């Protein structure tokens, strides 16, 4: 069966510090991968998605970047965090050819920027 992991589970960082959040998927190959941010009262915002190694698409301009160094690894980064980067970050995957397939979500990382 497939599983998706995210770490760390929680993170408190000062403004201006760097960020690295990691997501890994097990039990599948060539997944589509996604990063979402969930801010209070604002639902889920798609930040990045990837259809393959090194292929990253950004949905909104922001202070963050994403990378996919391996097939089942997706990393969210920032060089300098802003207060507005606080939120709950969710990684998800879906089957590569599955238009109608569901997305499977990780447990999330709660980031607080002080």
Site string for another protein, 6-35 (x = CB under 8 A): --------------------------x---
- Of 87, 94, 111, 113, which one interacts with another protein (CB under 8 A)? 94
Stretch that binds another protein, among 12-20, 46-54, 62-70, 79-87 (CB under 8 A): 46-54
Whole-number Cα distances in Å, 93 to 13, 19, 39, 114: 26, 21, 20, 30
For 55, other C-beta atoms within 10 Å of its C-beta total 10
Q: Rounded to the nearest whole angstrom, what is the least distance from the CB of residue 11 to another protein in the complex?
A: 14
Helix, coil or strand: residue 26: strand
């Amino acid at each position: 069966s497939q599983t998706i992991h995210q770490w760390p589970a929680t993170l408190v960082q000062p403004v201006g510090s760097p960020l690295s959040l990691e997501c890994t998927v097990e039990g599948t190959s060539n997944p589509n991968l996604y990063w979402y941010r969930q801010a209070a009262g604002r639902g889920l915002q798609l930040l990045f998605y990837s259809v393959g190694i090194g292929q990253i698409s950004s949905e909104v301009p922001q202070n963050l970047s994403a990378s996919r160094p391996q097939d089942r690894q997706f990393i969210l980064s920032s060089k300098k965090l802003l207060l507005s980067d606080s939120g709950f970050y969710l990684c998800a995957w879906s089957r590569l050819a599955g238009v109608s397939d569901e997305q499977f979500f990780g447990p999330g990382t709660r980031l607080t920027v002080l």
